[in-house]
Amino acid sequence: MRSVPQHLRLFSLSLIMGWFAVPLQAAQTAVVDAPAVQLEPKALEILKTMSARLVSTQGMSFKAITTYEKPSRLGPPLAYCTVALVNVQRPDRLRVLTSGDGPATEFYYNGKQAYAFARKENLLAQADAPPTIDATLEAAYQRAAIYFPFTDVIVADPYKDLSRDMRLAFYIGQSTVIGNTTTDVIAYASDTVFVQAWIGAQDKLPRMLRAVFRDDPTQSRHQVEFSDWKLSSAMPADFFKPEHIETAQRIQFAPPPDMRAPEGVKEPVEKP
C-alpha cells in the first residue's frame, strides 16, 4: 500500500514545484534601484475607491484565474494556470476552491476552524483558527506556507495593505479590453513589487493584476484575472466547512519540506 504524504500539498502546481502563489503585494519590480517616493493622487484615488467598494459589502464572491511563469529548461518561461472560486463573508468566513494545472484543493474558514482538503487524495488538515480572515491568512502562512495570489483583495482594508510600503503610483490610462468593460489602468510599486492593475472605471472592482518580483532574476510575471463578481453573497454556515470528510486521512498543517517564499516576499501584517 502506498504511503500517505506527510504534508498536504495545497492550492496550486506552484507548491508541488516549490514556488509560491504569492499575494500581489509580494511581487517585485525589475532589478533596479528602488524608486523615490512618487505617488500620483489620481492613482491613489483609484486604489482607495476600489478598496471602499470591496469593503462596502459583508459578503462577496469572484473567480480568480492566476497565471504563473516558471523558466523552462531552454530558458523562456512556461505558463501555469489555476482557477479559484472564492467566497468571502466578513469578518470571519472564507472558502477557496482551486483547480487547474496541479492538484485540486479546498480551503475553508468558518470563524473558529480552518480546513485544507485535498478531496481526490482524501487528505484533511484541520486546526483552530483566529477570529478574523486577516489573522487566519497570517496563521495559514506561518503554519503551512499557504498564500493566495488575491490576498490583497479579501483583507479587511485592501488600501492599507497595498499602500503601506508604496513608493510609486501613477495613472496609465483607460482600456476597453480587460473584463469586457472599461478599466482604469494604474501601476504601483514598493521596494519589492511592481504591479500593473486594471480596475473597473464604473464598478471600481479589480479586473486584473499583473506583478513582477523586483529581485527575481528570471523576472517571471504573475497575473490574476478576476471575473464573476457578486457583492451580495450570503451563504449559510455549512458552506464554509468541507463536506464528506468523515473518512479523510487527517494530517497536520505544515509547509512542504524546503518550502520558502521567493526573495522579497513580505509576510502579512496582522498577527493571529
pLDDT (0 to 100) of residue 34: 56
Assess if residue 270 is contained within a domain.
Answer: no
Is residue 32 pLDDT above 90, yes or no? no
pTM (2 d.p.): 0.81
Question: Would you state the cell numbers that stand for residue 73, as one nine-digit string?
Answer: 529548461
Q: Domain containing 142 — which CATH number? A: 2.50.20.10
| Residue 95, beta-bridge partner list | 87, 108
Assess if residue 271 is contained within a domain.
Answer: no
Q: How confident is the model at residue 28 (pLDDT cuts 50, 70, 90)?
A: very low
Residues 6+ away with beta carbon under 8 Å from 236: none
Amino acid sitting at position 254: A
Q: Domain residues for 29?
A: 13-251
pLDDT tens column, 202-244: 999 999 999 998 888 888 899 999 999 999 878 999 999 999 9
Q: How many other CB atoms sit within 10 Å of the CB of residue 141? A: 21
Q: 153 — alpha (psi -120 to 50), left (phi > 0) or beta? A: alpha
CA distance 63 to 66: 10
Please state, in angstroms and as integers, the Cα–Cα distance from residue 123 to each residue in 5, 10, 14, 128, 251, following that order: 9, 10, 19, 17, 7
CA distance 265 to 122: 31
Is residue 76 pLDDT above 80, yes or no? yes
Assess if residue 272 is contained within a domain.
Answer: no
